[in-house]
């Protein structure tokens, strides 16, 4: 970009379509300059007005909003935005948005679809290897100079041959299952319903799945039905050799019961990217070598942020030009909301910068 | 096992075939009781005699020895053991044994063959994900309470789409390649010679491989030709975004040059299970988040140790009963020493306890 006369720049920004933010999605921090060339972002945190008043002030001009996970989008907020017709969220998860209220108000919702699935699956595999093979703890052992002092390091456990239960067989769960299958793991799964195209054994009951596995990997959406689904009973069924990996949402596990089971050795370890009350993490777990924790960063790669940027720009442009969205959240016949990849081909045709993503999705070289 | 009269036990031990140890292989520590039921182990560290004298004392009775990696088996040691006819080593690597001298003296050598390959490959993948996605560093970030204080954690890098050069395409390298292929990595390899059954692109020149990759994973044997093969030139060819993972032997990398390249940011990171002068590790690397180090424990799982125990017992029994060995190190037409899986079928027939290993090798359930 060349230099602009500031008044000219202001004028250009005023002509751009308005998009409301509530707080900064991480991708916005990374690509703010590029985003701001195409849209005028309303940033309540830069205003001296309280949020409620800020929203009222801009109510008439806000047709689109760009939200991140973590901040609930309640009826209260939506009531303040009568002209809102489109919510783009930077997450794959939708648990922070009142989807029924959006539907009632005729607000379209789009999420990141499945663009994070590979990175999230990689994190799940990485956390699992880390817990089984004690990688983080061994790294600390070496870096603290304990190898010279203490010699032998405790034995880990082999990944191959382990029975792994995948909870949630969407794009992330399927990706985890395929990867761990290559490691010689024996996969089974639990999901809202049996997936016709998935050949791994299906357990409709989560406790039964846990009883038949040494490892469970949580990849499902957080909904009323899945909140605290992984409780003490499930952990007891998993057993003392059992390992839990969670790359979905913290509240799918009853965290208090998880902490107790870990402290008492009722399960063998955990790899956790998500927590019930982020960024607060149960401090009782801080000293446990068999618990590996990451700060909800399973999707946080440069490559994913670039892909997300493309999707957000593409969807906002589509909305403002009355074209079909790339991803859109739709309700299936069972009243379940899910993301639908609507227009990726036409999006590729109109959006040259999407080629990088296209490569990743379609043209895997091996 | 029931209780024995001590004198009876002594008598039984005296009747057992003698096997020399130099120091305790880790598997011996784990399975000492079981090993000692079948063989009488000579343990110089329990004797007041200097090693040289200990060896002379037992020279006439030592036909078999069980060694671990790390302690060189020199001509000097072999000269003290004129009756030695069989060396079993607990490692897959053979760099600590003077194989030409063994051949000259008619000493058969057997190693752990490929029984560690899966675990070592898993460690390589785990270290790579850890470095790319900052798992160990993120675990520390969370456990130090920094998530609440600092918020966002730095972005990592995606595994899928990365060009990975595998150095050494034996059973470990092939296993790494197959696994990373599932992650969408683009695999190529370097090896002593092109492998006719491997379809990944072959680079005869290591520097050329590095120039065409973002990641190199070292899985080859340490030999004169591979010592310090990964030097500054290779690292410069790999470049500032490059990551090196080493699960083979420390001395394949010029460690001083690696430290300099990491400190200067000439490469992006490293995952290291092995070092030139173990257990000494370059302290300059202790504070680097982009370097993940484990204490040469890539093979250290309970499952591997169990398999190793079976192999060692099986090979020692085969030797003392003049039967073919299970694994034996043989020289190929190119004068290269390699492990050959000679008798696994007949071993399965005569060794019921090997069923667990058989399951792992042959009957992968998925």
CATH number of the CATH domain containing A141: 3.40.50.720
The model's pLDDT over A92-106, given as tens digits with 9 standing for 90+, comes to 888 899 999 999 999
Q: Do B271 and B326 sit in the same domain of this protein?
A: no
Q: How many domains does chain B have?
A: 2
Closest chain B residue by Cα to residue A129 = B126
Q: Quick one: pLDDT band at residue B345, thresholds 50, 70, 90?
A: low
Question: Does residue B1 lie in a domain region?
Answer: no
The reply to whether A145 touches chain B by the CB within 8 Å rule is yes
Percent with pLDDT over 90 in chain B: 77
* Rg of the Cα atoms in chain B: 22
Nearest-CA distance A53 → chain B (Å): 27
A306 lies in the same domain as A228? no
Choose the final residue of a domain: B238, B270, B293. Answer: B293
Angle at B140 between CA B135 and CA B145, to 5 degrees: 130
A234 within a domain of the structure (yes/no): yes
Domain-located, residue B81: yes
Q: Token pair 């990373």 is at which residue?
A: B180
Model confidence at B353, in pLDDT bands (50, 70, 90)? very low
Q: Which of B136, B140, B300 sits opposite A155 (nearest CB)?
A: B300
Q: What count of other Cβ atoms lies within 10 Å of the Cβ of residue B135?
A: 29
**Enclosing H/E stretch for B42:** strand B40-42
Q: Has residue B245 got a pLDDT over 80?
A: yes
Query: Is the torsion defined by CA of B46, B47, B51, B54 positive or negative?
Result: negative
Mean pLDDT of B114-131: 96
Do the chains contact at A160 and B118, CB–CB below 8 Å? yes
A302 vs B158: CB contact, 8 Å cut-off? Answer: yes
Our CA-based measurement puts residue A331 at a distance from the nearest CA of chain B, in whole angstroms, of: 31
Are residue B137 and residue B100 in the same domain, yes or no? no
Range of the domain at A181: 117-293
**For the residues of B264-327, what is the DSSP string, one character each?**
TTSSSEEEES--TBTTB--GGGTT-TTEEE--S-TT-BHHHHHHHHHHHHHHHHHHHTTPPPSE
Assess whether B141 and B286 both reside in one domain. yes
Window from B129-138, B159-168, B245-254, B308-317 with minimum mean pLDDT: B308-317
User: Does the pLDDT value for residue A7 go beyond 80?
Assistant: no
Q: Could you say which of A132, A182, A286 has the minimum Cβ distance to residue B143?
A: A286
Statement to judge: residues B230 and B111 lie in one domain: no
Structure-token pair, residue B152? 């966002």
Q: Are strands A64-67 and A18-21 parallel, antiparallel or unpaired?
A: parallel
Q: Which two tokens stand for residue B262?
A: 């990491």
pLDDT tens-digit map of B30-64: 999 999 999 999 999 999 999 999 999 999 999 99
- What is the rounded CA–CA span in Å between residue A107 and residue A325? 13
Q: Does A1 map to a domain?
A: no
B352 and A CB contact within 8 Å: no
Q: Count CA atoms closer than 13 A to A106's CA, side-chain side.
A: 5
Q: Find out whether the peptide bond into B266 is cis, omega within 30 degrees of 0.
A: no
Facing residue for A293 by CB, picked from B142, B160, B178? B142
Any domain includes B68: yes
pLDDT of residue A2: 44
pLDDT given at position A81: 95
User: Does residue A13 belong to the interface with chain B, where contact is any CB pair within 8 Å?
Assistant: no
- pLDDT-based confidence at residue B13 (cuts at 50, 70, 90): low
Q: Does A360 contact B at CB distance below 8 Å? A: yes
Last residue of a domain, one of A293, A317, A347: A293
Does the beta carbon of B161 lie under 8 angstroms from any beta carbon of chain A?
yes
pLDDT value of residue A294: 98
Report chain B residues whose CB lies below 8 A from the CB of A127: 135
Are A243 and A158 found together in one domain? Answer: yes
Read off the pLDDT of residues A248-287 as tens digits, 9 standing for 90 and up: 999 999 999 999 999 999 999 999 999 999 999 999 999 9
The verdict on whether B134 is a catalytic residue reads no
Q: Do B130 and A138 touch (CB under 8 A)?
A: no
CB contact under 8 A, B158 and A301: yes
* Structure confidence at residue B339 as a pLDDT band (50, 70, 90): low
Q: How far is residue A248 CA from its own chain's centroid? A: 6
CA angle B63, B66, B67 (to 5 degrees): 125
CA dihedral sign, ordered B226, B26, B111, B123 = negative
Does the residue B164 lie in any domain?
A: yes
Q: How many contacts, defined by CB atoms under 8 Å, are there between A and B?
A: 206
Which residues of A are less than 8 Å from B118 in CB distance? 158-160, 183-184
Tell me which of B270, B293, B316 is where a domain ends.
B293
DSSP 3-state assignment of B250? Answer: helix
Q: Kindly state whether B68 is in contact with chain A, defined as any CB-CB distance less than 8 angstroms.
A: no
Nearest Cβ partner for B139 among A136, A287, A366: A136
What distance in Å separates the CA atoms of residue A233 and residue A237, rounded to the nearest whole number?
6
CA-based nearest residue in chain B for residue A271: B139
Query: In terms of domains, do A124 and A107 share one?
Result: no
B97/B121 same-domain check: no
Of A139, A292, A305, the CB nearest to B292: A139
The answer to whether B348 faces chain A, any CB pair under 8 Å, is no
One domain, residues B138 and B284: yes
Given a cut of 50, whether residue B131 has pLDDT beyond it is yes
- Per residue, what are the HEC states of A271-334? EECCCCECCECCHHHCCCCCEEECCCCCCCEHHHHHHHHHHHHHHHHHHHCCCCCCEEEEECCC
**Number of alpha carbons in the 13 Å side-chain half-sphere of residue A27:** 27
User: Residue B187 in 3-state DSSP?
Assistant: strand
B-chain residues within 8 Å CB-CB of A287?
Answer: 143
Q: Which of B69, B119, B143, B153 to mutate to test the interface with A (most CBs of A within 10 A)?
A: B143
Q: Are residues A107 and A169 in the same domain?
A: no
Q: Which residues of A are catalytic?
A: 249, 278, 296
**Residue A261 and residue A251 share a domain:** yes
In terms of domains, do B252 and B320 share one?
Answer: no
| Whether the predicted pLDDT of A312 surpasses 70 | yes
Answer yes or no: do B366 and A184 touch at CB < 8 A: yes
Residue A343 in this model has a pLDDT that exceeds 70: no
């Amino acid at each position: 970009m060349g230099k602009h006369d500031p008044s000219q720049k202001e004028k250009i920004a005023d002509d751009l379509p308005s998009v409301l933010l509530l707080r900064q999605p991480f991708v916005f921090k990374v690509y703010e300059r590029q985003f701001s060339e195409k849209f005028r972002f309303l940033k309540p945190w830069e205003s001296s007005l309280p949020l409620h008043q800020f929203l009222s002030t801009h109510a008439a001009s806000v047709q689109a909003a760009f939200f991140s996970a973590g901040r609930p989008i309640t009826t209260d907020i939506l009531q303040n935005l009568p002209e809102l017709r489109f919510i783009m969220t930077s997450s794959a998860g939708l648990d922070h948005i009142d989807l029924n209220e959006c539907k009632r108000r005729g607000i379209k919702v789009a999420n990141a679809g499945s663009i994070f699935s590979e990175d999230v699956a990689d994190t799940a595999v990485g956390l699992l290897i880390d817990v089984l093979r004690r990688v983080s703890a061994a790294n600390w052992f070496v870096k603290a100079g304990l190898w010279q002092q203490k010699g032998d390091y405790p034995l880990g456990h082999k990944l191959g041959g382990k029975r792994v239960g995948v909870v949630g067989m969407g794009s992330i769960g399927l990706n985890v299952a395929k990867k761990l299958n290559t490691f010689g793991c024996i996969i089974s799964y639990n999901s809202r319903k049996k997936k016709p195209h998935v050949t791994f054994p299906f357990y409709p009951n989560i406790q039964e799945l846990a009883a038949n596995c040494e490892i469970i990997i949580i990849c499902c959406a957080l909904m009323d039905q899945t909140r605290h689904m992984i409780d003490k009973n499930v952990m007891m069924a998993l057993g003392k050799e059992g390992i839990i990996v969670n790359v979905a949402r913290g509240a799918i596990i009853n965290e208090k019961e998880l902490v107790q089971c870990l402290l008492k050795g009722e399960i063998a370890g955990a790899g956790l990217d998500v927590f019930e009350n982020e960024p607060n993490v149960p401090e009782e777990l801080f000293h446990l070598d068999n618990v590996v924790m990451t700060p909800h960063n399973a999707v946080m790669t440069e490559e994913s942020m670039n892909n997300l940027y493309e999707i957000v720009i593409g969807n906002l442009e589509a909305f403002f030009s009355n074209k079909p969205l790339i991803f859109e959240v739709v309700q299936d016949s069972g009243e379940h909301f899910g993301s639908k990849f609507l227009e990726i081909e036409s999006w590729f045709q109109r959006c040259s910068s999407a080629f990088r993503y296209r490569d990743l999705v379609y043209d895997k070289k091996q």
